[in-house]
Amino acid sequence: MSSTLGQAARARLVRDYPWYGSLSLRLRLEENPNVETARSNGVTLAYNPEWFEKLSDTRKLVVIAKGTLHCALLHFARRGARDVAKWQEACDHAANLILKQSGLDVAPEAPADPSFAGLSAEAIYAKMAQDEQDSENEPGKDDSLGQGTAQAGPSDDFFPQDDPSDAGTVEDAPRNDPSANSGEPKDADESTEGESGKDPEADWKLAVTQASMVGAKAGTLPGGADLVTKEIRTETVDWRTVLREYISVNHDFAWSSPNRRFIHAGMYFPGTMKTKMRALGVFNDTSGSTSRMQPDFIAEINAIFEADARPEKILVIDCDARIHRAYEAEGAIELLPAKGGGGTSFRPPFEYVEKEGIELEAAIYLTDLKGPFPEDPGYPVLWIVPEYCTLTAPFGEVVKMVRER
């Protein structure tokens, strides 16, 4: 059913919030009595007309803006194997926080935990899962994630009729079928107005970039728009690919000729020179905060060494606030059980390397970046961190490890 109620709200959005408004024009507005509140899937923003008509003009504006923002953030294409309900909640936190930063009047009860500010939906999902695991492990849980982290807000139960703040929430569709999961059967003669005919994910990335460029020149870029642009540029960077590029046998660390594959994400790695790496350090934070990541981390490194020529020397150091193990790996790297309660310091591994006179060509450090740093050691360091981590390192490159679920 074509939309009439939403057109006036969208017109006001174009006038008052042109960045959101211009992007909302990509969506086909559709009145659908089978939808409880509203949902967007990358092509259509469908809403219940009876529910929508009862909203205030301000809340109607938020409905269109939020549905648009979920699409701009590519939430319809990024769930993967994550739990649908928890992914839904994480997406709502991410979107509502940006809407608030843009000055839109988000309802007070809407999920918008300020402790998640600046995080992607993936990072929020991971943080919620970590908080849930910590709660289940009480007493004696590891505090390395930090104290006082606020818990996620109550679940929206997808599209509750009594919660207008949830309008615009995404119900995820398969990556290659944006019309799936729209909450209704797809009619054979359904209109495709508002659909470009291309990959909607690629279309939204381009549209967001263009809208942001225009908004920046016109001085109409809202708060939070820079977060959207940054997120869609970096969310496709896979940590495994970065790791392989970093320690590949083909790299001789010619930093004067950076690898262009990751420059778009602000990461600088060397070009390929077909040489064998001489000495690599693999440092593992065993304080407990990265324990869930360690099996995947170690498995991936071992897989790389099996597929490619090994570095001549692989120095493995397991450390929290002090070194628990330091050895030269002859075969596969073995996983050391996490040592909880010891705090974290990044200094001991680098101090050990210097004291022993070991000349590393590069080092990889798995950690959450919560601890004191040493001086720059003078060789490349790749920090692999949990996807919810918002910290940075004073030297080296940081890449988030997105775990399969």
What angle is formed at CA 221 by the lines to CA 199 and CA 64, rounded to 5 degrees?
55
Distance, in Å, from the CA atom of 117 to the CA atom of 224, rounded to the nearest integer, reads 10
CATH of the domain at 372: 3.40.50
Q: In what order do the strands lie in the sheet with 323-328?
A: 323-328, 313-319, 279-285, 362-366, 381-386, 397-401
Distance, in Å, from the CA atom of 59 to the CA atom of 100, rounded to the nearest integer, reads 13
Distance, in Å, from the CA atom of 97 to the CA atom of 73, rounded to the nearest integer, reads 13
Query: Residue 222: is the preceding peptide bond cis (ω within 30°)?
Result: no
Which residues, at least 6 apart from 271, have a Cβ–Cβ distance to it below 8 Å? 251, 254, 257, 258, 259
Please state, for a pLDDT cut of 90, what percent of the chain lies above it.
Answer: 38
Judge whether residue 211 has pLDDT over 90: no
Better-scored residue on pLDDT, 165 or 344: 344
Residues 176 and 209 in one domain: yes
Q: Cα 291 to chain center, whole Å? A: 20
Residues 197 and 295 in one domain: no
Range with the poorest average pLDDT among 29-38, 66-75, 154-163, 247-256:
154-163
Residues 226 and 249 in one domain: no
Model pLDDT, residue 261 = 54
Residues 208 and 281 in one domain: no
Q: Cα 334 to chain center, whole Å? A: 29
Convert the pLDDT of each residue in 98-118 to its tens digit.
999 999 999 899 999 999 998
| Domain end residue (candidates: 234, 265, 289) | 234
Residues 149 and 37 in one domain: yes
- Least Cα distance to 64 among 32, 97, 25 occurs for 25
R_g of the chain computed on alpha carbons: 24
Residues 252 and 144 in one domain: no
Tokens, residue 21: 């408004």
Which residue range forms the structural domain that includes residue 259? 239-401
Residues 221 and 255 in one domain: no
Q: At 89, phi and psi to the nearest 5?
A: -65, -40
Domain count, the chain: 2
Distance, in Å, from the CA atom of 75 to the CA atom of 175, rounded to the nearest integer, reads 10
Which residues, at least 6 apart from 117, have a Cβ–Cβ distance to it below 8 Å? 97, 101
Which residue bears the tokens 């929290």? 320
In DSSP terms, which residues pair with 388 in a beta bridge?
none
Average pLDDT over residues 29-58: 92
| Domain end residue (candidates: 234, 250, 266) | 234
| Domain end residue (candidates: 234, 269, 294) | 234
Highest mean pLDDT of the ranges 46-60, 268-282, 327-341:
46-60
Which residue bears the tokens 């990541």? 293
Residues 66 and 207 in one domain: yes
Residues 136 and 272 in one domain: no
pTM of the model: 0.58
Residues 331 and 267 in one domain: yes
CB 380 within 8 A of CB 324: no
Residues 25 and 173 in one domain: yes
Residues 75 and 113 in one domain: yes
